[in-house]
Amino acid sequence: MSGLVGNNLTCYKQDRCLFQNLSIRLQPGELVHLTGPNGAGKSSLIRILVGLSTPDRGNVKCDGMYTTDPAFAKNILFIGHKAGLNGLLSAEENLTYWCAQHGLNVTGKTIHNTLEMMNLVGLEAVPIKYLSAGQQRRVALARLSLKPATYWILDEPFTSLDTDGIAMMEVALANHVSNNGAVIITSHQSLSGRAGPYRTEQLDYQL
């Protein structure tokens, strides 16, 4: 069965129930906007869905594979709200290392072209720590063009992006979904029409 599916998920943090008996499904061709107030459990849910955290109850499957399957994350690309970059390495070096970690056979030219697409021309060799927060976010999001994956799981990807960066990302989301990709995105910002049709899932505090 295709799709990324969370079944009857329950999550506790510091003795507080963030959510319980929650089920969510993401299928190819869908964009899901996960919303909710700070502390409602959006990031916790995202980490469970990509296999980085274990729910207190329930399970997650991706295209029929449980998180315990070695190939579970093969078709998933996760980008968290932190950029996950080494400040001492350049943009090119960070992406080269990331591609090697994921077993991707990507050339230096491809990485250069990807950074150019992200409007980072001239900054490819600059150590990440000298880039602005928005430029660092663009480097992190460049990974979307480097790993073929159906499921994009993005936690606050618009953080620190300017208006042009957000518009570029929304177009990328729409293009991915139109090519039978699937996206879950958390964001406190509303999505514009550029992102295409989407479904909203709301997380609220558990009292």
Q: What is the pLDDT of residues 56-91, one digit of tens each?
A: 999 999 999 999 999 999 999 999 988 899 999 999
Max Cα-Cα span within the chain? 52
In a domain, 116, yes or no: no
Please indicate, yes or no, if residue 162 is contained in any of the structural domains.
Answer: yes
57 domain-assigned: yes
**Assigned domain for 128 exists:** no
Q: What is the span of the domain harbouring residue 16?
A: 4-86+148-202
- Who contacts 6 (Cβ-Cβ below 8 Å, separation ≥6)? 22, 23, 24, 25, 45, 48, 49, 55, 58, 59, 60
Nearest-angstrom CA–CA distance, 137 and 81:
9
Is the whole model's pTM more than 0.85, yes or no? yes
Residue 68 lies in a domain: yes
* Residues written for the chain: 207
Tell me, yes or no, whether 105 lies in a domain.
no
- When pLDDT is cut at 50, 70 and 90, the band that residue 205 belongs to is low
Residue 111 belongs to some domain of the structure: no
Question: How many separate domains does the chain show?
Answer: 1
Q: What is the CATH number of the domain that holds 179?
A: 3.40.50.300
Q: In this structure, is residue 11 part of a structural domain?
A: yes
